[in-house]
């Protein structure tokens, strides 16, 4: 099978960052070093951060420090604060785990997580992650393409969408207890079939070379790097191929704020935040955040823009 050559965030396609000498810069470099040494693919090496030179050259796009990736999460099943998922997910059991694949497929099947791993393996993908709240990270995921799973399941003619369902376990997920005004559970998401089959679309089972921690969506989650982070449904229990556009959680909560497509787009404003730029988590100082302009499709336009040809991205936001 040919390995998909996905676009890696490179130094050339980011705005130069100001150099700074904080713990974060050091951490970023240290973690990047671990990454380069610890993973088996050449990709990590290629993306190992370049130490900032004394002359002030822009550094390469560094993975966000692991600590930040695992302690700054939106995972409302565990709580609404960014620190809640890491703090309150201790009681969550990501094993054993099954994923049901059904709907318009030739071979509906309940997959055990180990079977998925054995069948589809994993590769490294260093992706930018852009949250709808106007912040971003660069995250080294491990996982396999959703398309591979769907091909194995055999998508039937007439299928148009893929619906995803997360887990409901109030006893293990404090955010699912009470919470009068909260999201409705289970969290649900969806993609158009062509988006789901796109080689960039990943089912992640690991981050930073280790199994996904609970707060990042253990044991298996969706990563769609050209869409806002909330499309990346966590702790998936069911994947259903369908001919209807499936409901999606944030869209149900506030349809005027969160669309079905949720493609990263600096020109489509969100009612709460300007989407024209983003805060880079893990950089900047207490007195000045690090920001950079947001790019159409989160910088993956070359790969995915064709999916939306002829569509009004303002209407279908």
Q: Which residues bind other proteins (CB under 8 A)?
A: 22-24, 65, 67-68, 71-72, 76, 80, 82-83, 133, 135, 180-183, 253-254, 257, 269, 271-274, 276-277, 279, 281-282, 284, 286-289, 291
Query: Minimal distance in Å, beta carbon 75 to other proteins?
Result: 13
**CA dist list (Å): 302 to 45, 105, 126, 150, 295:** 24, 30, 17, 24, 12
Whether residue 283 is annotated as binding a ligand: the answer is no
DSSP code, position 14: S
Whether residue 233 is annotated as binding a ligand: the answer is yes
Rounded CA-CA distance 228/223 in Å is 10
Max CA distance (Å), the chain: 59
Q: Which CB sits closer to other proteins, 114 or 269?
A: 269
Query: Minimal distance in Å, beta carbon 121 to other proteins?
Result: 31
Whether residue 221 is annotated as binding a ligand: the answer is yes
3-state secondary structure of 196: helix
Q: Cβ of 1: how many Cβ atoms within 10 Å?
A: 5
Q: Which CB sits closer to other proteins, 45 or 274?
A: 274
Q: Which CB sits closer to other proteins, 41 or 274?
A: 274
Whether residue 139 is annotated as binding a ligand: the answer is no
Q: Which CB sits closer to other proteins, 95 or 272?
A: 272
Q: Which CB sits closer to other proteins, 11 or 276?
A: 276
How many Å separate Cα 292 from the centre of its chain?
19
3-state secondary structure of 299: helix
| Token code pair at residue 269 | 């404003």
Query: Minimal distance in Å, beta carbon 161 to other proteins?
Result: 25
CA-nearest of 143, 230, 137, 237 to 189 is 230
3-state secondary structure of 293: strand
Whether residue 166 is annotated as binding a ligand: the answer is yes
Q: Which CB sits closer to other proteins, 198 or 231?
A: 231
Rounded CA-CA distance 253/175 in Å is 16
Whether residue 216 is annotated as binding a ligand: the answer is yes
CA-nearest of 161, 211, 154, 221 to 187 is 221
Query: Minimal distance in Å, beta carbon 153 to other proteins?
Result: 34
| Token code pair at residue 109 | 């099947």
Residue 96, judged by CB atoms within 10 A of its CB (0-12, 13-18, 19+), counts as exposed
Query: Minimal distance in Å, beta carbon 288 to other proteins?
Result: 6
Q: What are phi and psi of 53, to 5 degrees?
A: -85, 160
Query: Minimal distance in Å, beta carbon 258 to other proteins?
Result: 9
Whether residue 57 is annotated as binding a ligand: the answer is no
Please name the helix (run of DSSP H) or strand (run of DSSP E) that holds residue 211, with its range, or none.
Answer: strand 210-211
Q: Which CB sits closer to other proteins, 102 or 257?
A: 257
Whether residue 76 is annotated as binding a ligand: the answer is yes
Annotated binding site for Mo-molybdopterin: 73, 76-77, 131, 166, 216, 221, 232-234
């Amino acid at each position: 099978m040919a390995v998909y050559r996905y676009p890696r965030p490179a130094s050339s396609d980011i705005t130069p960052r100001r150099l700074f000498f904080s713990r974060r810069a050091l951490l970023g470099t240290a973690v990047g070093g671990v990454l380069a040494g610890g993973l088996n693919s050449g990709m990590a090496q290629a993306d190992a951060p370049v130490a900032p030179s004394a002359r002030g050259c822009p550094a390469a796009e560094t993975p966000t420090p692991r600590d930040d990736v695992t302690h700054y999460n939106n995972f409302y099943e565990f709580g609404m604060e960014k620190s809640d998922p890491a703090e309150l997910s201790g009681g969550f059991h990501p094993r054993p785990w099954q994923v049901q694949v059904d709907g318009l497929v030739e071979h509906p099947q309940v997959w055990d997580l180990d079977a998925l791993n054995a069948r589809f393996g994993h590769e490294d993908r260093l992706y930018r992650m852009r949250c709808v709240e106007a912040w971003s990270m660069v995250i080294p995921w491990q996982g396999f393409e959703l398309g591979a799973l769907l091909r194995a399941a055999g998508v039937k003619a007439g299928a148009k969408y893929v619906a995803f369902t997360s887990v409901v376990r109030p006893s293990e997920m404090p955010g699912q207890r009470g919470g009068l005004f909260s999201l409705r559970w289970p969290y649900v998401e969806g993609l158009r079939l062509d988006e789901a089959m796109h080689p960039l679309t990943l089912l992640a089972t690991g981050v930073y070379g280790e199994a996904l921690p609970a707060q990042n969506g253990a044991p298996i989650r969706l990563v769609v790097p050209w869409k806002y982070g909330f499309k990346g449904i966590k702790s998936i229990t069911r994947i259903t191929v369908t001919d209807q556009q499936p409901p999606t959680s944030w869209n149900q909560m506030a349809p005027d704020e969160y669309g079905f497509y949720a493609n990263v787009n600096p020109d489509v404003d969100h009612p709460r935040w300007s989407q024209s730029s983003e805060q880079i988590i893990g950089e900047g100082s207490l007195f000045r955040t690090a920001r950079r302009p947001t790019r159409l499709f989160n910088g993956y336009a070359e790969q995915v823009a064709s999916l939306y040809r002829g569509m009004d991205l303002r209407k279908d936001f």
